[in-house]
Amino acid sequence: MYKMLQTTKLALKALLGSPLRTALTMLGMVIGVAAVIVLTSLGNGVQERVTGQIGNLGTDTVQINPGSEANDGPFGSAVTSTLTVGDARRVAALPSVAAVSPSVSVVARAGGGSLSLSGVDPAYARIRTVDLAAGRFLARPGELVLTADAARDLLTAAPSASIGKAVDIKGAPYAVVGVTKAAEGGFGPPIPSTSYISTADALALADVSTVGQILVRARDSESVDAAVSEIRTALTASHGGTTDFYVETQAELLSTFTLISDLLTYLLAGIAAISLLVGGIGIMNIMLVSVTERTREIGVRKALGATSWDVLSQFFLEAVLLALIGGLAGIGLGAGVAALLPRISSNLPTDITSTAVGLAFGVSALIGVVFGVLPAVRSARLQPVEALRRE
């Protein structure tokens, strides 16, 4: 125990004897660990926020999308929609379904610019949460619910002052009956980014007869599987036996997003970990140089009775200390940057986990062990006579 304390004291004395070299040697570890902490915390933060937003949509909601689930899926290429308002009415009549709304996206000329619109039915407010700053949601064709930004741009008015005013969209007046709350930024679908008009108005503006999506709310969470089965049976029959649509539950959407988010987080952490490897190589190179520079010191210590194990322990401990101190500094830097990012932008949520911190510290120690072996072994192999003669 005493010998270990003496070895640790000698290792610390050697590191503190060249503070600039020590700091520069640790820099690679500091940057590498900080990068791992920041990127993993950012990935976790985004995943947590989007998971929460998807969860807020409810576990009893279902989406019907055009295309084949096997070939296209939610991230596949664009397909021609075969879904119609009639399909939505068939779905609404099913026993396990509580509310249905078609959805049609269209961009139309409004005022002096363009306006992004979602055509939906009044039942949409029972399926998705629509946070209104003023007014109410759609009740009939000819009505319009604007986003706060659109109300400001088109009417130069506050939300409450916009109610009752008319907006000219593609030559036809629409009465503003509601204004949604301003988006707070972030990720995920719940943040309102489009204004709302009725499905009939959107179909007329887009000059199409099909809808882009049908949104469904089951009677309760326990009825979701039954609703999905009923929807598939009903729509397959109405489409002449062709399954040119796929039904997706919120649980499936959440599972898909979580998988992709995890893969991206691991990928980013892997890229950042490359800098840890570079930091480890830097420690090894500097320690090898240090062995060469301290040849006389090694010779004197061995001539005075130090064993090869004593010398090996000192240089090995120096490498491990460099890695550990650099790792701790990197954890502090990474945690500080991760805490600062949400203050810079609400679109950069972070979540530092104890797992990420522990893993970063463990990897730092492992790098010190792995890359400290060669310099330590080389120092231990020096013979006293040869070491003194070389000087």
> pLDDT tens digits for 6-24?
777 777 877 787 888 888 8
- Report yes or no on 72 lying in a domain: no
Torsion of CA 373, 378, 382, 386, to 10 degrees: -170
Among 23, 7, 14, 38, which Cα is nearest to 326's? 23
Helices (H), the chain: 2-17, 19-56, 85-92, 124-127, 148-155, 159-162, 199-206, 224-238, 250-293, 295-303, 308-344, 354-381, 384-390
Q: Which residues pair with 66 in a beta bridge?
A: 245
Total domains in the fold of the chain = 2
Do 309 and 382 belong together in one domain? yes
151 near 176, Cβ under 8 Å? yes
Do 186 and 282 belong together in one domain? no
What's the whole-number mean pLDDT along residues 309-337?
90
Residue-level pLDDT at 1: 63
Residue-level pLDDT at 2: 61
**Interstrand relation of 143-146 and 172-180 (parallel, antiparallel or unpaired):** parallel
Q: Which amino acid is at 340?
A: L
**How far, in Å, CA of 304 to CA of 384, rounded?**
9
- Report yes or no on 74 lying in a domain: no
**How far, in Å, CA of 361 to CA of 370, rounded?**
14
Torsion of CA 208, 209, 210, 215, to 10 degrees: 110
Residue-level pLDDT at 286: 87
Do 209 and 312 belong together in one domain? no
Please tell me which residue, 230 or 70, carries the higher pLDDT value.
230
Please tell me which residue, 284 or 68, carries the higher pLDDT value.
284
- Boundary-marking domain end, from 197, 218, 239: 218
The SS3 call for residue 373 is: helix
Q: Tell me: the pLDDT tens digits for 343-385?
A: 888 778 888 888 888 888 888 889 888 888 888 888 887 776 6
What's the whole-number mean pLDDT along residues 281-288?
88
Residue-level pLDDT at 183: 63
Q: Which domain holds residue 331?
A: 2-53+257-390
Residue-level pLDDT at 213: 93
Statement: the pTM of the whole predicted model exceeds 0.95: no
Q: Which of 71-80, 118-127, 165-174, 263-272 has the lowest mean pLDDT?
A: 71-80
Residue-level pLDDT at 184: 55
Residue-level pLDDT at 387: 57
Q: How confident is the model at residue 89 (pLDDT cuts 50, 70, 90)?
A: very high
**Interstrand relation of 245-249 and 213-218 (parallel, antiparallel or unpaired):** unpaired
**How far, in Å, CA of 159 to CA of 151, rounded?**
7
**How far, in Å, CA of 87 to CA of 82, rounded?**
9
Q: How confident is the model at residue 164 (pLDDT cuts 50, 70, 90)?
A: very high
Please tell me which residue, 295 or 337, carries the higher pLDDT value.
337
Do 101 and 214 belong together in one domain? yes
Q: Tell me: the pLDDT tens digits for 148-158?
A: 989 988 888 88
Q: How confident is the model at residue 3 (pLDDT cuts 50, 70, 90)?
A: low
DSSP state string for 100-124: EEEEEEEEEEETTEEEEEEEE-TTH
- Report yes or no on 241 lying in a domain: no
365 near 320, Cβ under 8 Å? yes
Do 128 and 194 belong together in one domain? yes
Q: Tell me: the pLDDT tens digits for 38-62?
A: 988 988 888 888 777 766 666 788 9
Mean pLDDT, the chain, rounded, equals: 85
The CA-to-CA distance between both ends of the chain, in Å, stands at 33
Do 39 and 127 belong together in one domain? no
Do 374 and 327 belong together in one domain? yes
Residue-level pLDDT at 300: 79
For the chain, percent of residues with pLDDT exceeding 70: 90
- Report yes or no on 88 lying in a domain: no
Among 384, 333, 381, which Cα is nearest to 357's? 333
Q: Which residues pair with 174 in a beta bridge?
A: 167
Q: Which amino acid is at 260?
A: I
Residue 139 φ/ψ, nearest 5 degrees: -125, -25
Do 212 and 280 belong together in one domain? no
Q: Has residue 304 got a pLDDT over 70?
A: yes
Q: Which residues pair with 173 in a beta bridge?
A: 168
- Token pair listed for 217: 């709310």
Q: Has residue 389 got a pLDDT over 70?
A: no
